[in-house]
Chain A
Amino acid sequence: MTEHKPHIILKTNNLSIGYKSKTSTSVIADHINIELKQGELIGLVGANGIGKSTLLRTLTTIQQSLAGQVHLNGRSLDSYSALDLAKTMSLVLTEQLMSKNLSVFELVALGRQPYTNWVGNLSEEDINIIDRSIELTNITDLKHRKCFELSDGQLQKVMIARALAQDTNLIILDEPTTHLDMYHKAYILKLLQKLAKDTNKTILFSSHEIDLAIQLCDTMVVMTKDQVISDAPCNLITKGVFDTLFPKDLIGFDEKTGSFRVKK
């Protein structure tokens, strides 16, 4: 097979994650080997407390890894300066904004910070990129509204627009669908799928919406107690990986429908 091989944006090599203090080390997951390819939408799923957030925090350098390497665009993650990293990877986090007294435009404009001068003035190019990000996320009508006026779903779109404006190869989102109703959960994930396709960016998100992720993702990373496995959703279903996600006493995975069912 001499198929064109897509560019690999992020690759981990025997990565081990967890918490280290002076006296003890607690490993949350190890031997993590995943590859994120350009233009793909990747969903990270796993039970509560399995280490999804820890993995994302490690990949985004908020937290130190215990062992192993992370390569971003072929370069070790440690070799990135804060500014270089900001031009390669953007984040959407679960934490509340400190101030919601910014207009949507101002907030999205903050995504241009790594590129602006010392006082943060926006060039014409910056404004074009901001406007495009606002268009791509369908929030043009909110452009001059204040963030505290927005619903959770709207605010999430604004945060995604901000990450887009940062113009990075990789966007990482930590549970972008929490607090949203069913419609907006689907809407946000569908939007991420469209953005990955249209902008050729790699988008990694963690979520508890396994059903939706199976339908929309190109690749899924599944974290269980024993392993971290990544593959296309269909392959993961065939391998029976989803059945190992949760304790078997309450819910089971139905391969035919690709969703979880409560056991009677």
Chain B
Amino acid sequence: MNTKFTYSFIGLTVILLLCFFANISLGSVSIPLDDVFGSVFGLSDNYIIQNYRLPKALTAILVGSGLGISGLLMQTLFKNPLAGPFVLGISSGASLGVALVILGSGLFGGAFAVALVSKWSIVIAASLGSFLVLLAVLLVSSKVRDTMAILIIGLMFGSITAAVVSVLSYFSSAEQLQQYIFWGFGSLGNLAWSELLIFFCIYLIGILLTTFSIKALNTLLLGENYAKSLGLNIKQSRLIIILATSLLAGTITAFAGPIAFIGLAIPHMTRQIFNTSNHKILLPAVFLFGAIVMLICDSIAQIPTSDYTLPINAITSLIGAPVVVWLLVRQRKMVF
């Protein structure tokens, strides 16, 4: 029974490695594969690879897998196939933070504004925004007994922040709006090694918390009352799951922007292909699928051998949505 999955996992890992090296090799300047291998394993020096392509490919892996996993966590916790990593309002919080920095800088005016809108200030604003929303959600979820209420409250947070962003946009200049919209496109290629390290550490905490929730997630498949009758501490598990999601989705949004679609679609893709709801299988599978899809999307967004880079956020939906539709139509049945 499990050998079937073992082969799938080996296959996916091989595909992941292929995508990883292809992603590094492709771009505005094509780099031959032997040069890619040499640089990745530290045998030779290639400035583009070491300072640009390699961090970008690693970021893609972290972003894709992290978003996929947090989407899976939310779909199981909220028993809702429409849930994604951002249902709790985490990306809205980040958006608000960034909007306040970019759009709000006009209110402070002049030289101060220029100093304010640096890359780090955007990362910090996004982290702070998502962290504050996370705090509010955690506070609410420790008070509210009904899990569905948390979902609604998350959506409400999202509406409030979207409204504030609208008001800010109304008072902003075209230049500021453009800058804000560019952040919203998402970007994988902006991280230096030091930033990547911070990203990775927080990501790792999120993944660890998720691993400790596997049993709880499987128990939750029965529904909350059954889960409770099996000795599961619902409130505690819920808190850990929300915390893991927030850490993953929050840092990803802070460093790479609000990347849509992956978090919603990858869990569905994985369930359709693996045809199981067992999280012991699903979690590693979602990790691999998320990373692969993100690497492919990024390779396409770079438009090999051209100088253009398309918004990654558009590519994920353009490529991913038809795949999910095709999978659902082919199976004629949604697996959830």
B228/A98 in contact, CB under 8 A: no
Interface 0/1 of B189-211, CB less than 8 Å to A: 00000000000000000000001
Interface pair B221/A119, CB less than 8 Å apart: no
Interface size on B, residues (CB 8 A): 28
User: Could you tell me which residues of chain A, from 225 to 246, have a CB within 8 Å of some CB in chain B?
Assistant: none
Query: Across the interface, do A101 and B276 meet the contact criterion of CB distance under 8 Å?
Result: yes
Interface flag for A85 (CB, 8 Å) = yes
C-alpha spacing A84/B280, complex, angstroms = 25
Residue of A nearest to B276 (CB): A101
Cβ of B231: which chain A residues have Cβ within 8 Å of it? 81-87, 113-114
Closest beta carbon of chain B to A230's beta carbon, Å: 23
Are A110 and B229 in contact, CB atoms less than 8 angstroms apart?
A: no
* Nearest chain B CB to A110 CB, angstrom units: 6
The docked-state distance in angstroms from the alpha carbon of A95 to that of B221 is 12
Interface SS of chain B: helix, strand, loop or mixed? Answer: loop
Specify which of A83, A93, A98 is in contact with B221 (CB 8 Å cutoff): A98
Residue B148 at the chain A interface, CB threshold 8 Å: no
Pair A97/B221 contact, Cβ less than 8 Å: yes
Contact B223 A111, beta carbon cutoff 8 Å = no
Cα separation A95 to B225 with both chains bound (whole Å): 9
Interface bits A80-122 vs B (CB < 8 Å: 1, else 0) = 0111111101110101111101100011001101101011100
Given that A83-B231, A102-B221, A110-B230 are contacting pairs, would A120 and B212 also be in contact in the complex, using a CB cutoff of 8 Å?
no
Instruction: Please provide the chain B residues from 1 to 37 with a CB less than 8 Å away from any CB of chain A in the complex.
Output: 1
Question: Does B221 contact A99, Cβ atoms closer than 8 Å?
Answer: yes
Residue B218 at the chain A interface, CB threshold 8 Å: yes
Does A250 lie at the interface of the complex (its beta carbon under 8 Å from any beta carbon of B)?
no
Q: How far is the CA of A86 from the CA of B336 in the complex (A)?
A: 26
Complex Cα distance, B117 from A62, in Å, reads: 52
Does B178 have its Cβ within 8 Å of any Cβ on chain A?
no
- Confirm or deny: A166 has a beta carbon within 8 angstroms of a beta carbon on chain B: yes
**Is B318 part of the contact surface with A, judged by Cβ < 8 Å?**
no
Separation of A85 and B230 alpha carbons in the complex (Å): 8
Distance A114 CA – B214 CA, assembled complex (angstroms):
14
Interface residues on A, range: 20 to 34
Are A120 and B214 touching (Cβ within 8 A)? yes
How far is A99 from B219 in the complex, measured between Cα atoms in Å? 10
Tell me, yes or no, whether A60 is within 8 Å of chain B by CB.
yes
- Take A110-B219, A119-B280 as given contacts and tell me if A101 and B228 are in contact as well, using a CB distance cutoff of 8 Å: no
Q: Shortest distance in angstroms between A83's beta carbon and chain B's nearest beta carbon?
A: 4
Q: Are A98 and B79 in contact (CB under 8 A)?
A: yes
A119 B215 Cβ-Cβ under 8 A: yes
In the bound complex, residues from chain B placing their C-beta under 8 Å from that of A144 are 1
Query: What 0/1 readout, one digit per residue, does chain B (218-253) give for beta carbons within 8 Å of chain A?
Result: 111111011011111100000000000000000000
B275 within 8 A of A: yes
Most buried by A among B231, B233, B271, B278: B231
A144, B276: Cα distance in complex, Å: 12
Closest residue of chain B to A166 (Cβ to Cβ) is: B230
Residues of B within 8 A of A87 (CB): 231
**B153 an interface residue at 8 Å Cβ cutoff?**
no
User: Does A101 lie within 8 Å of B226, measured CB to CB?
Assistant: no
Q: Is B309 on the interface with A (CB-CB < 8 A)? A: no
User: Chain A's nearest CB lies how many Å from the CB of B84?
Assistant: 18
Residue of A83, A114, A116, A120 with highest tally of chain B CB at under 10 A: A120
Q: Among B211, B221, B230, which residue has its beta carbon within 8 angstroms of that of A114?
A: B230
A98–B211 Cα gap in the complex (Å)?
21
A93-B225, A95-B223, A106-B278 known; A116-B230 Cβ under 8 A: no
Shortest distance from the beta carbon of A254 to any chain B beta carbon, whole Å:
38
B277 interface hit (Cβ, 8 Å): yes
B328 beta carbon closer than 8 Å to chain A: no
Cβ B218 vs Cβ A120 within 8 A: yes
A interface footprint on B112-156 (CB within 8 Å = 1, 0 otherwise): 000000000000000000000000000000000000000000000
Contact B277–A101 (Cβ < 8 Å)? yes
Which residues in B have some Cβ–Cβ distance to A below 8 Å? 1, 79, 211-212, 214-215, 218-223, 225-226, 228-233, 271, 275-278, 280, 335-336
- Additional 12 contacts, C-beta under 8 A, given A82-B228, A99-B221, A102-B277: A60-B229, A81-B231, A82-B232, A86-B229, A86-B230, A95-B226, A97-B223, A101-B336, A110-B230, A114-B231, A119-B215, A119-B280
Q: B-contacting residues of A (Cβ < 8 Å)?
A: 60, 62, 81-87, 89-91, 93, 95-99, 101-102, 106-107, 110-111, 113-114, 116, 118-120, 144, 166
Top 7 A-B residue pairs of the complex, sorted by shortest distance between their CB atoms? A86-B231, A83-B231, A120-B215, A101-B277, A99-B221, A91-B229, A114-B231
